[in-house]
């Protein structure tokens, strides 16, 4: 954490244990629901409310309602020793009586809280039992002087087991009381137009809702806080990108000669979408600013060739390009696809993975450092320290959802000013790309290459395994090629393996040499052998695999995909797997085998797979079925999660925050004006310290 945080924020970045009632025992629960600092409690907004303003006489209190009443304590009736009967206390006023009921009530405590002959304020739900009024475990019991504290609309906060509402309420109130007034960072006209209060007032308002509408995302104080959060996010991204852009100052512009040679060697023409995307990428490379572009295209839309042509544009300009992929198999396969095309253009492409070792590795690294290798394909091994490019100017990351934020950051740090293209088959909604990358440019391949055949997807119970194995055998006899994917067991890779090996043995007994096995634990050479045998002619026709084949593998004449325990896979994963077939002009069949009985949701998910091949529809459906919480595996993909903003409700505010951030950066890139200073406070408030650091290091 930075030491340059403005002192006005210090109380908010103190530990929650500085709040009343939060001792060492409770701190872990508070950390669990909110966070370790006071500021985290400010962001813990109420999800409901309890109206305690209703304050009838005892004789008028209706059953089922929450009432706050002034009563005199009349008599205690402790239970006989060792009995299960509750402790009862009779209270009343001049209109009637009510019994307070305490299960396992402690006598000392109750006598102290509710001494006979005195008056107290009690608040809780009134019940009728045997025609008499009672209240079990009142929510509040306080002296008359504190009646105003109780007689109010009480916010209800999301809780966790071990934390009582009363304690959390008190802690949040104390946190809000510690919040200072802060200089205004919003544009005055924009704030006025929305009728938004100042930050401090907004904060107080969201924690004291008076009615249900004030709990909604469009309640002005809530919307303001959401905007603050989004603005801090967009401003931070804009600052980081500004710094990256400033660093750069070269254009990569090739003459098109190598691209022309490769196009001539291709057995097909680019689709309109591919040509458009390539044009956009090449234009980015030719501009002064640093490129960060996302190429989004469903499985099989032909991203690889677009990447190759873009890399050739870099090679034409005399610089190096790299293609990073998530698995060794995929690296090998991409290399094999690219090699003949590069040969046709006289370009040297090599592959670097963890398995390239010893003298060969040393020689390869030397050639990369000398600039003799123009295109390098590889796994994340590419970005290790020992890999020293002569002049890496363009990097492509394939299937980016498989890489963590961490790896992406590492990449950004390799060659400063490297243009970056990330490719993904995961349809990330625009709002999410915006929050993860700021104003990242996006190219879409929204058109598939011609000759794509539909895949017929069917669901079948695992009980029909034998029948399915026979079907596969028939297909193999007529020359078909089949992927057979074995279940993923998360707890143990060994069990995965055992399942795959058992299936392999089973199918081999029936079909002999026509069956090959591939999994992540095999030696590289064994993997290659299995892959070669399956992709070539006259070799294996059934490839039994764990999910190592999930991403990007291309064997065009494979037409059948069997997936065991399909219910255990994510929809995106199933979609990726299914994308392996129906590629070579022959229609495909995908069999999703499940273990009955299926839950409602599992059934709905598999039916979605059966009913559509559209990646966007599948992603949306996945989102709906999984509920709002986890959007498209946002956790893995490093998308930020917001505490105050709700992207479904505040999408428009996000767009406004982006424009606002752009304008701020254009006018006051170092945040030096009075508003700029206030914005620095905003960045610290939302812990965007990283972004503030870019200001100083300039
Ligand atoms: P993905 O977008 O899933 O990475 P690939 O780049 O692996 O897709 O391409 C899938 C298949 O489509 C490959 O076999 C590739 O040769 C083929 N392909 C790509 N572009 C075209 C095109 N314009 N016309 C015909 N086939 C194409
Ligand atoms: Mg691909």
d(CA 521, CA 662): 48
Backbone φ and ψ for 438, nearest 5 degrees, come out as 75, -145
Q: Is the pLDDT of residue 400 over 70?
A: no
The answer to whether the CB of 268 is under 6 A from ligand 1 is: yes
Which residue's CA lies nearest to atom 19 of ligand 1?
Answer: 302
In the reported structure, the alpha carbon of residue 478 is separated from the centroid of ligand 1 by a whole-number distance in angstroms of 26
> What are the tokens at 225?
């806080």
The answer to whether the CB of 576 is under 6 A from ligand 1 is: no
Query: Which ligand lies nearest to the CA atom of residue 325 in the structure?
Result: 2
Tell me the three state secondary structure of residue 625.
Answer: helix
Which residue's CA lies nearest to atom 1 of ligand 1?
Answer: 300
Mutate to test the pocket of ligand 1, among 302, 311, 324, 400 (most ligand atoms within 8 A of CB): 302
Average pLDDT of every residue of the chain: 87
Q: Is the pLDDT of residue 584 over 90?
A: no
> What are the tokens at 401?
């959802």
Q: Is the pLDDT of residue 631 over 70?
A: no
* pLDDT band of 139, cuts 50, 70, 90: very high
| Crossing angle between the packed helical segments 220-247 and 689-697, to the nearest 10 degrees | 40
Considering only CA atoms, which of 690, 693, 678, 481 is closest in space to residue 9? 678
Residues of the chain with CATH 2.40.50.140: 53-151
Considering only CA atoms, which of 233, 203, 237 is closest in space to residue 220? 203
Tell me the three state secondary structure of residue 588.
Answer: strand
The answer to whether the CB of 424 is under 6 A from ligand 1 is: no
Cis amide leading into 64 (omega within 30): no
d(CA 686, CA 694): 16
Q: Is the pLDDT of residue 2 over 50?
A: no
- CA 21, 26, 32, 35 dihedral sign is positive
The rounded percent of the chain whose pLDDT value lies above 70 is 88
Instruction: Write out pLDDT tens, residues 39-77.
Output: 999 999 999 999 999 999 999 999 999 999 999 999 999
d(CA 603, CA 198): 49
What pLDDT, on a 0 to 100 scale, did the predictor assign at position 438?
Answer: 64
d(CA 375, CA 198): 54
In the reported structure, the alpha carbon of residue 423 is separated from the centroid of ligand 1 by a whole-number distance in angstroms of 14
Query: Which ligand lies nearest to the CA atom of residue 578 in the structure?
Result: 1
What pLDDT, on a 0 to 100 scale, did the predictor assign at position 428?
Answer: 62
243 compared with 376, residue with greater pLDDT: 376
Q: Is the pLDDT of residue 698 over 50?
A: no
Considering only CA atoms, which of 441, 59, 406, 510 is closest in space to residue 281? 441
Considering only CA atoms, which of 39, 111, 46 is closest in space to residue 76? 111
What pLDDT, on a 0 to 100 scale, did the predictor assign at position 403?
Answer: 52
Which has the minimum average pLDDT: 59-73, 265-279, 567-581?
567-581
Which has the minimum average pLDDT: 148-157, 492-501, 678-687?
492-501
Instruction: Write out pLDDT tens, residues 365-393.
Output: 999 999 999 999 998 888 788 899 999 99
Residues of the chain with CATH 3.40.50.300: 257-445, 455-612
d(CA 216, CA 223): 9
In the reported structure, the alpha carbon of residue 133 is separated from the centroid of ligand 2 by a whole-number distance in angstroms of 70
**551 class by beta-carbon count within 10 Å (0-12 exposed, 13-18 middle, 19+ buried):** buried
Which has the minimum average pLDDT: 140-154, 634-648, 680-694?
634-648
d(CA 78, CA 85): 9
Query: Which ligand lies nearest to the CA atom of residue 323 in the structure?
Result: 2
CB 182 within 8 A of CB 5: no
What count of other Cβ atoms lies within 10 Å of the Cβ of residue 578? 22
The answer to whether the CB of 584 is under 6 A from ligand 1 is: no
What count of other Cβ atoms lies within 10 Å of the Cβ of residue 405? 13
Q: Is the pLDDT of residue 628 over 50?
A: no
Which residue's CA lies nearest to atom 10 of ligand 1?
Answer: 300
The answer to whether the CB of 615 is under 6 A from ligand 1 is: no
CB 136 within 8 A of CB 102: yes
* pLDDT band of 84, cuts 50, 70, 90: confident
d(CA 375, CA 323): 8
Average pLDDT of the segment spanning 258-272 = 94
- State which ligand 1 atom lies nearest to the alpha carbon of 304: 6
Query: Which ligand lies nearest to the CA atom of residue 552 in the structure?
Result: 2
Q: Could you tell me how far CA 529 lies from the centroid of its own chain?
A: 37
Domain 257-445: give its CATH architecture: 3-Layer(aba) Sandwich (3.40)
- Compute the C-alpha angle 637/634/415, nearest 5°: 20
* pLDDT band of 243, cuts 50, 70, 90: confident
Which residue's CA lies nearest to atom 12 of ligand 1?
Answer: 302
> Superfamily assignment of 53-151 in CATH?
Nucleic acid-binding proteins (2.40.50.140)
- State which ligand 1 atom lies nearest to the alpha carbon of 306: 6
Which has the minimum average pLDDT: 228-242, 376-390, 437-451, 517-531?
437-451
DSSP string, 453-507: --EEEEEEEGGGHHHHHHHHHHHHHTT-EEEEEPPP-TT-HHHHHHHHHHHHHHH
d(CA 534, CA 488): 22
What pLDDT, on a 0 to 100 scale, did the predictor assign at position 430?
Answer: 61
In the reported structure, the alpha carbon of residue 303 is separated from the centroid of ligand 2 by a whole-number distance in angstroms of 6
Which has the minimum average pLDDT: 88-102, 171-185, 593-607?
593-607
Domain 455-612: give its CATH architecture: 3-Layer(aba) Sandwich (3.40)
Q: Is the pLDDT of residue 481 over 60?
A: yes
């Amino acid at each position: 954490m930075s030491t340059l945080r403005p002192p006005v924020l210090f109380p908010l970045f103190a530990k929650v244990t500085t709040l009343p009632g939060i001792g060492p025992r409770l701190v872990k629960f508070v950390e669990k629901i909110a966070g370790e600092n006071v500021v985290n409690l400010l962001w813990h907004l109420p999800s409901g409310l309890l109206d305690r303003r209703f304050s009838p006489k005892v004789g008028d209190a209706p059953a089922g309602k929450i009432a706050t009443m002034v009563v005199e304590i009349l008599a205690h009736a402790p239970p006989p020793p060792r009995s299960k009967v509750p402790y009862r206390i009779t209270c009343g006023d001049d209109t009637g009586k009510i019994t307070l009921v305490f299960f396992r009530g402690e006598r000392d405590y109750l006598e102290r809280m509710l001494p006979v002959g005195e008056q107290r304020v009690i608040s809780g739900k009134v019940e009728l039992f045997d025609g008499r009024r009672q209240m079990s475990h009142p929510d509040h019991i306080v002296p008359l002087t504190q009646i105003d504290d109780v007689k109010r609309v009480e916010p209800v906060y999301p809780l966790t087991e071990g934390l009582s509402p009363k304690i959390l309420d008190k802690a949040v109130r104390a946190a809000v009381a510690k919040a200072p007034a802060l200089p205004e960072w919003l544009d005055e006209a924009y704030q006025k137009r929305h009728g938004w209060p100042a930050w401090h007032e907004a904060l107080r308002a969201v924690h004291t809702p008076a009615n249900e509408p004030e709990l909604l995302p469009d309640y002005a104080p809530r919307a303001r806080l959401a905007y603050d959060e989004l603005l801090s996010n967009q401003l931070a991204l804009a600052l980081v990108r500004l710094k990256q852009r400033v660093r750069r100052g070269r254009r990569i512009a090739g003459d098109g000669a190598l691209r022309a040679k490769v196009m001539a060697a291709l057995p097909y023409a680019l689709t309109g979408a591919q040509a458009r995307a390539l044009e956009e990428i090449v234009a980015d490379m030719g501009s002064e600013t640093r490129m960060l572009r996302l190429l989004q295209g469903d499985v099989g839309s032909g991203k690889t060739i677009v990447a190759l042509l873009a890399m050739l544009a870099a090679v034409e300009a005399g610089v190096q390009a790299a293609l990073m992929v998530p698995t060794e198999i995929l690296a090998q396969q991409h290399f094999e696809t690219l090699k003949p095309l590069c040969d046709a253009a006289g370009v040297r492409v090599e592959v670097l993975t963890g398995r390239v070792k010893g003298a060969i590795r040393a020689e390869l690294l030397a050639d990369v450092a000398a600039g003799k290798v123009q295109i390098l394909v590889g796994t994340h091994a590419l970005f290790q320290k020992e890999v020293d490019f002569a002049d890496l100017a363009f990097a492509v990351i394939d299937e980016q959802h498989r890489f963590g934020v961490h790896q992406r950051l590492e990449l950004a740090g390799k060659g400063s000013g490297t243009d970056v293209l990330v490719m993904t088959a995961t349809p990330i909604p625009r709002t999410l790309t915006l929050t993860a990358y700021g104003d990242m440019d996006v190219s879409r391949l929204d058109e598939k290459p011609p000759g794509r055949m539909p895949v017929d997807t069917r669901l079948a119970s695992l009980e029909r395994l034998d029948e399915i194995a026979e079907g596969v055998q028939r297909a193999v006899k007529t020359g078909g090629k089949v992927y057979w994917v074995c279940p993923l067991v998360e707890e143990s890779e060994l069990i995965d393996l055992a399942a795959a090996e058992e299936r392999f043995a089973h199918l081999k007994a029936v079909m002999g040499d026509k069956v090959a096995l591939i999994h992540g634990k095999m030696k590289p050479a064994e993997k290659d052998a299995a892959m070669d045998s399956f992709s070539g002619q006259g070799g294996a026709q059934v490839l039994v695999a764990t999910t190592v084949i999930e991403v990007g593998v291309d064997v065009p004449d494979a037409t059948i995909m069997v997936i065991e325990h399909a219910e255990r896979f994510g929809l995106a994963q199933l979609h990726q797997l299914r994308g392996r077939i129906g590629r070579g002009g022959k229609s495909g069949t995908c069999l999703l085998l499940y273990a009955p009985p299926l839950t409602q949701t599992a059934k709905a998910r598999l039916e979605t797979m059966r009913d559509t091949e559209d990646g966007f529809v599948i992603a949306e459906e996945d989102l709906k079925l999984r509920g709002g919480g986890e959007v498209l595996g946002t956790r893995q993909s490093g998308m930020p999660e917001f505490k105050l903003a709700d992207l479904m409700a505040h999408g428009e505010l996000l767009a406004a925050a982006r424009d606002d951030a752009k304008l701020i950066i254009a006018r006051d890139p170092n945040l030096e004006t009075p508003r700029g200073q206030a914005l620095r406070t905003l960045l610290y408030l939302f812990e965007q310290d990283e972004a503030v650091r870019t200001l100083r290091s300039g």
